Structure 1
Amino acid sequence: MTSSDVDPAGLGRRERKRRQVRDQLYAAAIHLFAAQGYEATTMDHIAERADVARATVFNHFTQKTGFLEEWGARRRAKVLGILRQEHAEELTVGERLRRYVGELAVLNIESRAETAVLMEASARFGQLLRDPMPEKELAAIIEEGIRRGEVRATVDPGEAGSLIAAGYFAGVMRWTGEEPEPFELRQRLERMLDIVLEGILR
């Protein structure tokens, strides 16, 4: 769970302060990664940028890769929050998956330079391709589709979720790997998803 997942009003003063410091550290790290590169940024740099002691950084993020994991988690949490506000659970499974992938595409497009640095760093140093959460979130949507009779009962939700997640990451990595951008990201991801949906929907 990230600090953005919890309503601050329901927290005590001490926990609010802790989350505020964590948010401060996170913002400092992401700024530095985007400005000077992931490898060139040290925990000391992050502490200096956030104006805290070096030990404070390690109290919240024991390793630099923790910022990469938090970056991915916050993005997914933001997308899930948007879907909840829109009552996306009322959509068909196909439309719900399109909204999920589409909102992630929008986040990437709005911050392409940041995405290029953080996605590459996540692939090289983090858990990008081993993080089970994107697959689990997608699998949960597909499981709901099976219960509703929209998805074929023989479909393995985990495998389908893994396939969509892999297609998403591959598309974003290729999109950020060239200048100028080689294709329109949202359209590419929609075409990828259409191929998967053709195979799993009734």
Structure 2
Amino acid sequence: MQHPTNTTPNQPPPLGRRERNKLKVKERLYDAAITLFAEHGYDETSIDEIAERADVARGTFFNYFQRKEDLLTAWGEQRRHTLLTTLTNNNIHTGTNTSTSTGTGTGTGTGNADSNGSGSSGGNSTDGNSGRGAESRNGNGNGNGNGNGTDGSPGSHTHGSSDNSTTNPDTAVNQLRHCMTALGQINETHQQETNSLLMAWVRAGRPLLEDPYLAELFAHIAHHGITHHEFKPHFTPHQIGNALRDLYLGSLYRWCGQPHTTPGQLTTELHTTLNLILEGILTTQHTDQ
């Protein structure tokens, strides 16, 4: 007689013992690699050292990763999963299914209540259950672009507009601010890791080869803003999404290149670049030539 299982039609069946053991080994290898990269640098860390730290044979490494560069892909996927989980838990419309896990996370990072982008679970977590959340709510927003907003981000004021974008969490503006807060905290919570891996990620061509999920995420929010008349329809959602992604990566590269940083510096810079897009640099008196 067959006994019914507890799984639902939308749930995958539970992993067997062999699959669970394989997943644990892969997680050990990933965790060992990320720790060594943060301690010594990506280029300075060998596969032998990763296997030794994970307490497995060198050949076992190649059962899970064909080459060391594959760890960069896993790192990027974990950051993506952490960000999307954080945003989803903060009711941000990502337009993306976050139910799948890459199975390489360590379970450490920035949590969802406050969110690293990842409260996501700081960049390396698959479940987003630990760390700091995306929302600090300790601001005193004064509406002049210099204070802290209701979500702990730098306040903004768009030429005296009277819209409710600063009070309604469902607006596209506030969704973008949550994104920038989460991205800033993901990187700042794991600064040494980010510094060690970002340049290796760039040299491996990952910004060109990987799916530009950030641009798509920003475009999804921009579409919401355009259809709800928050944003001018002069530009397409994809143009806005690509511009925001480019500004994010530029801010991240500059931050990683600085020998000394202060807490919250990257997050503040990201909100400044966001305000640059939202407010523009033209005076209200400007007319097209």
TM-score scaled by length of structure 2: 0.60
CA distance, structure 1, for counterparts of residue 52 and residue 177 of structure 2: 41
Counterpart amino acid of 1:107? I
CA distance, structure 1, for counterparts of residue 15 and residue 199 of structure 2: 35
1:187 aligns with 2:268: yes
Unpaired runs of at least 5, structure 2: 1-10, 94-168, 281-289
Q: Which residue of 102, 111, 114 maps to 2:181? A: 102
The superposition leaves residues 92-128 of structure 1 with CA deviations (integer Å, 9 ceiling, x where unpaired) of 1111111112111012112212111111211222403
Matches within 5 A, 1:109-120: 109-120=188-199
Higher alpha-carbon deviation: 157-166 or 98-107:
157-166
Matches within 5 A, 1:39-50: 39-50=43-54
Higher alpha-carbon deviation: 144-153 or 63-72:
144-153
1:178 aligns with 2:182: no
1:152 aligns with 2:232: yes
1:8–1:16: 8 Å Cα contact kept in structure 2?
no
* Counterpart in the other structure of 2:69: 65
1:134 aligns with 2:214: yes
Higher alpha-carbon deviation: 116-125 or 27-36:
116-125
1:28–1:46: 8 Å Cα contact kept in structure 2?
yes
* Counterpart in the other structure of 2:109: none
Deviation at 1:135, TM superposition (A): 1.7
The superposition leaves residues 119-147 of structure 1 with CA deviations (integer Å, 9 ceiling, x where unpaired) of 12112224035432222222222233334
Counterpart amino acid of 2:176? L
1:164 aligns with 2:168: no
The superposition leaves residues 133-176 of structure 1 with CA deviations (integer Å, 9 ceiling, x where unpaired) of 22222222223333434333342222222211111111111112
Count how many residue pairs are aligned between Structure 1 and Structure 2: 193
Counterpart amino acid of 2:170? L
1:34–1:117: 8 Å Cα contact kept in structure 2?
yes
Give the superposed CA RMSD. Answer: 2.4
CA distance, structure 1, for counterparts of residue 26 and residue 255 of structure 2: 30
Between structures 1 and 2, the one with greater helix share: 1
The superposition leaves residues 30-85 of structure 1 with CA deviations (integer Å, 9 ceiling, x where unpaired) of 11111111111122221111112223222222221221122122122112112211
* Counterpart in the other structure of 1:121: 200
* Counterpart in the other structure of 1:4: none
Counterpart amino acid of 1:117? S
1:80–1:100: 8 Å Cα contact kept in structure 2?
no
**Cα gap change, 1:61/1:133 in structure 2, threshold over 3 Å: closer, same or farther?**
farther
1:135–1:158: 8 Å Cα contact kept in structure 2?
yes
Counterpart amino acid of 1:123? V
Q: Which residue of 16, 19, 25 maps to 1:15? A: 19
What is the DSSP-based 3-state SS (H/G/I as helix, E as strand, rest coil) of the residue aligned with 1:100?
A: helix
Q: Which residue of 23, 34, 37 maps to 1:33? A: 37
The sequence identity of aligned pairs, in percent, is 37
What is the DSSP-based 3-state SS (H/G/I as helix, E as strand, rest coil) of the residue aligned with 1:44?
A: helix
